Amino acid sequence: MTGERPTHKVAFSGAGCVGKTALMEAVRFDVEAPWVGFIDEAARVYFSGTGSQIPLSRRDDFGPQSDIQTMAISSEEIANAQGLDVLFTDSSVSDAAVFVASTGDNEGAERLFERVRAWIPGSDSDIAYSRIYVLDPADVPYETDAIRQESLQTHQRHHQTFLDFFGSHGIAHQLLSGTLRQRTNTVLEGLPKIDRTGLRDL
């Protein structure tokens, strides 16, 4: 890390199948530097392993989402200890609260949110996100995969819950729209003014 500046943390947030992982890989391709770190989506890792037997209808429940949040927090704590200048995360630690809120379990959602309040942009904390991008599903054809299998209706409900929850809880964010190249450029242009010699020519 350069000087005493805290890590510039960027979180890609939003419903499943909105292009978070594709964006992460595009940014990873364009940035080649030892001062940049990447954290894969905790939910995808969880539902590929430990949570693979959880029925689709129960994936947004408090129990699984609490486990996912714990994984995300652990991954970020490990990354924070590395003294990186920039850290990209494929989801935010507050996402679990949103998914629980989408089921109507507001009490459970608040419990998870309170657990990660220090991560919210603008918090007086050195682990707070510098920027959260909520990815706009409008520009991405909805396609399920082996892990993400929710219906289009559930997908749309998740997205709206992200906007509602972030808005009602004062979580600063930017709705990220456009093509993959446009989204990638927006993210890269938002990086702090530090040595960017590791960036490929765009």
Contact of 22 with 183, CB cutoff 8 Å: no
Q: What is the pLDDT of residue 202?
A: 37
| pTM of the complete model | 0.90
**What confidence tier does 1 reach under pLDDT thresholds 50, 70, 90?**
very low
Q: Specify the range with the lowest mean pLDDT, choosing from 53-57, 145-149, 182-186.
A: 145-149
Q: What is the pLDDT of residue 31?
A: 87
Q: Is the pLDDT of residue 197 over 60?
A: no
Share the mean pLDDT of the chain: 90
Name the nearest CA neighbour of 131 among 200, 192, 185, 196: 192
Q: What is the pLDDT of residue 62?
A: 98
Average pLDDT over residues 22-50: 92
Contact of 16 with 136, CB cutoff 8 Å: no
The string of pLDDT tens digits covering residues 58-96 is 999 999 999 999 999 999 999 999 989 999 999 999 999
Residue 6 DSSP symbol: P
Q: Is the pLDDT of residue 152 over 80?
A: yes
Q: What is the pLDDT of residue 88?
A: 97
Helix (H, G, I), strand (E, B) or coil at 70: helix
The string of pLDDT tens digits covering residues 110-149 is 999 999 999 999 998 989 999 999 999 998 888 877 777 8
Q: What is the pLDDT of residue 177?
A: 96
Sign of CA dihedral 119, 125, 127, 133: positive
Hey, which CATH number is domain 8-189, 1.10.10.1800, 3.40.50.300, 3.30.1380.10, 3.50.50.60?
3.40.50.300
Contact of 54 with 150, CB cutoff 8 Å: no
What residue type is assigned to position 121 of the chain?
Answer: P
Segments making up each domain of the chain, as ranges: 8-189
- Cα–Cα distances (Å) from 184 to 11, 26, 34, 135, 174, in that order, read 13, 7, 19, 12, 14
* Strands, sheet with 86-89, edge to edge from the N-terminal-most edge strand: 36-39, 86-89, 8-13, 131-135, 174-176
